Amino acid sequence: MDEDILQDFLVEAGELYENLNEQLVELEQNPLDANLLNAIFRGFHTIKGGAGFIGVTPLIELCHRAENLFDKIRNGERQYSSENADIILQAYDAIGVMIAGLQNGERELENADPALLAELDAAVKGQVVAVAKATPTAVHLALPEGVDPDGDMSDEEFEALLNQRDQLSHADTPAVATKLTLAPGLDPDGEITDDEFEAMLASLSAGKSAEDAALEAARAVGAFSTPIAEQSAAPTKPMPAKPAAPKAAAKSGEEAESTVRVDTKRLDEIMNLVGELVLVRNRLLNLRSTLQNEEIAAAVANLDHVTMDLQASVMKTRMQPVKKVFSRFPRVVRDLARKLGKEIDLEMRGEETDLDKNLVEALADPLVHLVRNAVDHGVEMPDERERSGKSRVGKLILAAQQEGDHILLTITDDGKGMDAALLRRKAVEKGLIDEATASQLEDKAAFDLILLPGFSTKTEITDVSGRGVGMDVVKSTITKLNGGIDINSVLGEGTVFNIRVPLTLAILPTLMVGIGSFNYAIPLTAVQEIFDYDATQTNKIDGRMMVRLRARSIPLYFMREWLSPSTHGDNLDHSKVVIVNVGMSVIGLIVDHVRGQEEVVIKPLGAKLQGAKGYAGATITGDGRIALILDLPGMMSRF
């Protein structure tokens, strides 16, 4: 198998596979859309053709059957019913597993599940599928007596419960793997029609030999697009794969290839070098004001513009549309809604919004969890929605848009919303907060309780949710990305999750502050506002210094006491208060100086500081000094 050809196939197959995901779910809403039907048929056909060129027989067989079924559907001989959709989506998943196997270095793939192949064949013939699985239903798992259903459990324990569920909810279906073989002398590249292919399968099921089936198809003529000589039981030498068909017309010089495939490691190296250039640029900008030379000032200003343009261009090469993440959600929502017996319409907006490649990958799991939560916790059952005057079909909106140097992602549902009183009560029951604290929490702050570790409102454990873990992981993941999560909800109307993350992780906008003789960088995403420290505007509540800000009391912390105790003094005349978000809290940090905003390149800490709470990394400031980048949640937990 030629590796270069294989890699070309994997790139094309990956794109086709992603497109099929959206198209299949969309088709279930518009089963008569001829353009969709033809596009899906072409998708399976093209993957099959590519697999044939590199001789991946299991993928050929599976795609061929899916292609056959869609040929019947697009010609009006079969319907894209929910049952056929289930079978096709199972085939789609199996194709994805095979493509992933090839990407991971596997060169001898296992055959597809014979039961699945039989289901596809039966669906082509319009027959009742004898081996069809029961309609999925939510299976409630019983825990041993005395076990807290809301308690944390390890992944291994939960997987054991799920395995037990699968054993109880799915009956074993015996199946026999069958391969089609060709008789000696039959051209393996000859064309076999769908009817002749079905005749071969029928002859096998009737007990005929594979060789007799091949003889019945020997009348075929033309070119069969799938080289299946490797399947032949006869001891003949496999026919070589046919070369790729030439293009319809040679490209002219003006129409030459306009794209080139580049290893992402090279892009990372370039981005690192741009980061170093940004540091040098910052240093020169700082020196410009001290040199007082017009020519040097003009040259530095020009360098500043060029560096910004270069930085933007390199960032664009690393950008991917957020559609890369969004494309999986139609299937997630479709499968989960069908499993829970709900009706949900998913709308996606801003799919072309670009995001750093590393962020696209990092956001996938948190967004999946939030979407599953919206389907499970948020949207009500159809009958319940009808009783409350809503449409039986729930609405789920997944949106993305760029806001300056950040991306705003929103997950909105029109479900039952969150009950702030219930959240307070559950948090107290679990010992996460005391009753006094709970009584003082505003509804907005109560919504943030779901982000605490171990919080859950589920009274029973299912394979969908109720493990007592999850949202805290989402919160920590978003925080590690230098982003934030905000929750708004109205009881009976729905819930909105807002997630803000920077466009890139390579270069971080920060607020530089001075504490004693040291500089520190605070991620700009956490900063709300800055004002002068005024001791007359502060008071103490339960021994903690507080400041009143727009009818809200905010706790104050002296950064000098934490980070530079040796510089402690009483002169606070020029001190500033920086209001920041830390987790679900808002606090005020008292610093000696505010240096201003600065884009910094994050450098890892040295071995001796690795793992130290409160620090996300280090950077070199414009004046050539080293500054530590603060990790606010880690700093709060440390001090």
632 within 8 A of 608, measured Cβ to Cβ: no
Q: What is the CA radius of gyration of the chain?
A: 31
To which H or E segment does residue 147 belong?
A: none
CA atoms of 107 and 3, how far apart (whole Å)? 10
At 11, list the tokens: 């790139």
- What are the residues facing 599 on neighbouring strands? 509
C-alpha to C-alpha distance for 634 and 639, rounded to whole angstroms: 9
User: To 10 degrees, the CA torsion angle through 159, 160, 162, 163?
Assistant: 120
Q: CA 409, CA 360: separation in Å to the nearest integer? A: 12
Task: Return the residue matching tokens 């806001």.
Answer: 403
Number of neighbours of residue 405 by Cβ within 10 angstroms: 14
Q: What is the DSSP letter of 230?
A: G
CA nearest to 638, candidates 567, 563, 577, 542: 563
Token look-up 């200003």 returns 301
* Residues constituting the chain: 639
Amino acid at 569: G
Residues 6+ apart with CB under 8 A from 596: 511, 512
List of long-range contacts for 359-365, beta carbons under 8 Å, 24+ apart: 359/407, 359/481, 359/501, 359/502, 359/503, 359/504, 359/505, 360/320, 360/322, 360/324, 360/325, 362/477, 362/481, 363/325, 363/409, 363/481, 363/499, 363/501, 364/325, 364/328, 365/477
Both ends of the chain: CA-CA distance in Å? 59
Nearest Cα residue to 460 out of 135, 155, 139, 137 = 139
- Tell me how far apart the alpha carbons of residues 364 and 272 are, in angstroms, rounded to a whole number: 24
Q: 120-123: long-range contacts at Cβ-Cβ below 8 A with a sequence spacing of 24 or more? A: 120/65, 120/66, 120/68, 120/69, 120/87, 120/91, 121/65, 121/198, 121/201, 123/69, 123/78, 123/83, 123/84, 123/87
Strands (DSSP E) contained in 404-456 are 406-413
- Cβ neighbours, 10 Å, residue 129: 18
Of the candidates 616, 398, 372, 375, the one whose C-alpha atom is nearest the C-alpha of residue 471 is: 372
- DSSP assignment of 503-547: S-SSEEEEEEEEETTEEEEEEGGGEEEEEE--GGGEEEETTEEEE
Cα(218)–Cα(209) distance, integer angstroms = 15
Residues with a known catalytic role: 45, 67, 373
* Cβ neighbours of 93 (radius 10 Å): 14
Question: In whole angstroms, how far apart are CA 310 and each of 12, 76, 296, 354, 366?
Answer: 30, 54, 21, 17, 31
CA 564 – CA 545 distance, rounded (Å): 19
